[in-house]
Amino acid sequence: MGKMRTEFETSQSLELPVESRAAIDVFIDLLFTYNQKFNLISRQITRASLLQLVGESLILERYINRARVIDAGSGNGILGIPVALLDKERPVILVETKGKKVLFLEEARKNLKLDNVRVFRSTIEDYMREENGTDISLVSRGFPHPQIFFNFLRKGIIRELLLITSGNKLEKINLDMVKMEQKTYNLPLRNNLKIIKMENVSRETYKQKM
């Protein structure tokens, strides 16, 4: 565990409780174990690289300000699982379409005893049709069609959107940012990736900012 703490502190400048560090260690072990059966991560990826990805997820977690979190296209859980580990009182929904990845997410949830996590095999569009909450942060990493998320935000289906993505991808999209507030945060050791946070603010708040 001492080695893991050093890697987190030097590469991400993160201080984590011992319990959280141990749980992340278990999660990464699970990823490597299941990757021998399923294609969850690159076979060439190192533990240090996975720790960096987890660290970036933990940085994103700092900026979540809503009561519930939905991880769209959760995949191997490298975003949603660390977010759920840091705040076990906050519900986290992992939405994924591929069956093998859903099986892994369920196994990770059980192994880590994450009672605040639920896993759904669904497209994000189908899942959101059944979602009846409003105090929601939607998070995602590397999702191929982020325009879907912007539509959710514009319509008020979600209140907050946080993406780990490249600035180039966002520049190609017509955001129509009326009543939207956008912030960008840098990731350590990354020149091409950012955390993009967008909020659907109230009409009164929007007018005050004009």
32 part of a folded domain: no
67 part of a folded domain: yes
The enclosing domain of 123 has a CATH number of 3.40.50.150
37 part of a folded domain: no
66 part of a folded domain: yes
Mean per-residue pLDDT pooled into runs of 10, the chain (210 residues): 40 63 93 91 91 94 95 97 95 97 97 97 95 89 87 90 83 60 87 89 46
93 part of a folded domain: yes
The pTM score is 0.86
23 part of a folded domain: no
4 part of a folded domain: no
**Rounded (to 5) percent helix, strand, coil in the chain:** 45, 20, 35
Give all strands of the β-sheet with 136-141 in edge-to-edge order.
Answer: 117-121, 92-96, 68-72, 136-141, 160-165, 194-200, 180-186
Predicted local confidence at residue 38, as pLDDT: 86
How many independent structural domains does the chain possess? 1
17 part of a folded domain: no
Query: 141: domain range?
Result: 56-209
Question: How close are the terminal C-alpha atoms of the chain, in Å?
Answer: 50
